[in-house]
Structure 1
Amino acid sequence: MIIQSDADLDGIKKIGKIVANCLQYMMQKAEPGMTTKELDDLGGAYLERHGARSGPKLVYNFPGFNCISLNHEAAHGVPSATKKIQMGDMLNIDVSAELNGYYADNGGSMIIPPGTKKDLLLLEATKKALENAISGVKAGAAINQIGANIEKIADQYGFSIIENLGSHGVGKSLHEEPEFIAGFYDKRDKRVLKEGHVITIEPFLSTGAFGVDEEADGWTLVTGKEHRTAQFEHTMVVLKDRALIVTYPDPL
């Protein structure tokens, strides 16, 4: 969507804050022995307490409130009553929700301690890739610069990029124009950002995988089991000279 009014901006800010605080809450609660469904139920209850509705459930009838992925699961992991979080797991949580007709989307990855040096570097690199991509966002900027800025950091750290996952527009629905924004430099993409655009940026960096496949459940996207993937995501409004991030959580 493109912000047209103060009401639009206020709506995006409100749902942005809710999903950011929900993600922070879920990451604080994650611990070894907990099932991914137990963690998801905590997130679903948090959204409900704040008047928000799960975006994946509302838009796609996803079998959970949030996407929770472990290790070689890169995205869209289905919460399970039998899948337990273990020490050393790479955990990704993606929270998106709707409030009063507005949607926001954010995600984050973490290691359930202890983590290896490589795990921690992957998290560091993915965070920096997100920050570097955001730094180039402004009205009139080339959309493919987002992927170029992600690719620069991935190359510096020696990690690969999941090329068939990307960022997207958001606002009045969970996925909108601009559709698929590559996490790598795509010279064929001639689109530019417009003032007021609401978009996500979500780099997916991996220890060696370049793509994901869909599991038999029809949702979970996986790499080979020998790889791990990290993702961090913010929703933002494109301003004349910068990005306005709406998914920063409240201070702890």
Structure 2
Amino acid sequence: MTITQQDELDALKEIGRIVANTMHAMARAMEPGMTTAELDQIGRLLLERDGAIPAPEAVYDFPGATCISVNEEIAHGIPGARVLASGDLVNIDVSASKNGYFADTGATFRLGAVKPSLETLCRDGKRAMQIGIAQVASDKPLAGIGAAIGTFAEKRGYTLIRNLASHGVGRSLHEYPEEIATWPTRGDRRRITKGLVLTVEPFLSKGGLWAEDGEDDWTLYSTPRAPVVQYEHTVVATDKGAMIVTLPG
């Protein structure tokens, strides 16, 4: 969507704050021995408390309130009987709606101590998202997001998952522009309009190039198999840059 009025922005900020608070509360609640279903239930109750509707479930009939992807799972992990353990990388992706407005956020969290290389990957994954967000402003090229992230990744020897894109959001979970590359592309002449609402969510990897379906038709894995992290914010394009609406508060 494109924000044109203050009440639209206020509503978007409200749901943005809710999904951010939910994601960070889930991360704080993680502990070894907990199942992903138990972690998802915490997220569900928090969203319900704040009057929000879990978007994956409502829009796509996803079997969970949130997406929880552990280690080799890189996205759209179904909450279930999987038991979390110390050393796991856990991606928590929370999207929801309230009063007809949607926001989407995600991050990869470490449960206990992880290998130094994974600590670095997480740090750089967050940095890749920030570099992409810095390219968001009125009348800038949409392809500039992927170009900047790609330059960062290449310099540090990383790869990017190239079939999981950022997207427009606001009045629905996925809307125009539906495919926003977070990797370098050619031929995309689209420009960012003032007030455009979009996600920025690169998937940074140590060798992975593509996301492929698993047996459950939801969970995605990298090809080739390699560690992957994802960080995501919902932002609004302004003349001065990106306004992040998925901040806790």
Q: Deviations over 1:115-149 (max 9, x none)?
A: 11110111011111111111111011111110011
Q: Report the counterpart of residue 114 of structure 1 in structure 2.
A: 113
Following superposition, the deviation at residue 242 of structure 1 comes to 0.5
Scaled by the length of structure 2, the TM-score of the pair is 0.98
Residue 73 of structure 2 aligns to which amino acid in structure 1? Answer: E
User: Residue 152 and residue 225 in structure 1: after superposition, are their counterparts in 2 closer, same or farther (change >3 A)?
Assistant: closer
1:14 and 2:14 aligned: yes
1:228 and 2:227 aligned: yes
Following superposition, the deviation at residue 4 of structure 1 comes to 2.1
Q: Distance in 2 between matches of 1:166 and 1:224?
A: 16
Computed over aligned residues only, the root mean square deviation of the Cα atoms, in angstroms, reads 1.0
1:72 and 2:72 aligned: yes
Q: Report the counterpart of residue 175 of structure 1 in structure 2.
A: 174
Following TM superposition, where does structure 1 have runs of at least 4 consecutive aligned residues deviating by more than 6 angstroms?
Answer: none
Following superposition, the deviation at residue 241 of structure 1 comes to 2.2
Give the conservation status (yes or no) of the 8 Å contact 1:72–1:222: yes
Q: Unpaired segments of 5 or more residues in structure 2?
A: none
Identical-pair percentage: 43
Give the conservation status (yes or no) of the 8 Å contact 1:125–1:153: no
Q: Distance in 2 between matches of 1:84 and 1:157?
A: 33
Q: Deviations over 1:4-37 (max 9, x none)?
A: 2111111100000000100110010111111000
Q: How many residues align?
A: 249
Q: Report the counterpart of residue 30 of structure 1 in structure 2.
A: 30
Instruction: Say which SS state the counterpart of residue 218 (structure 2) adopts.
Output: coil
Give the conservation status (yes or no) of the 8 Å contact 2:132–2:182: no
1:123 and 2:122 aligned: yes
Instruction: Say which SS state the counterpart of residue 210 (structure 2) adopts.
Output: coil
Instruction: Say which SS state the counterpart of residue 223 (structure 1) adopts.
Output: strand
Q: Distance in 1 between matches of 2:220 and 2:78?
A: 10
Q: Unpaired segments of 5 or more residues in structure 1?
A: none
Q: Report the counterpart of residue 58 of structure 2 in structure 1.
A: 58
Give the conservation status (yes or no) of the 8 Å contact 2:205–2:227: yes
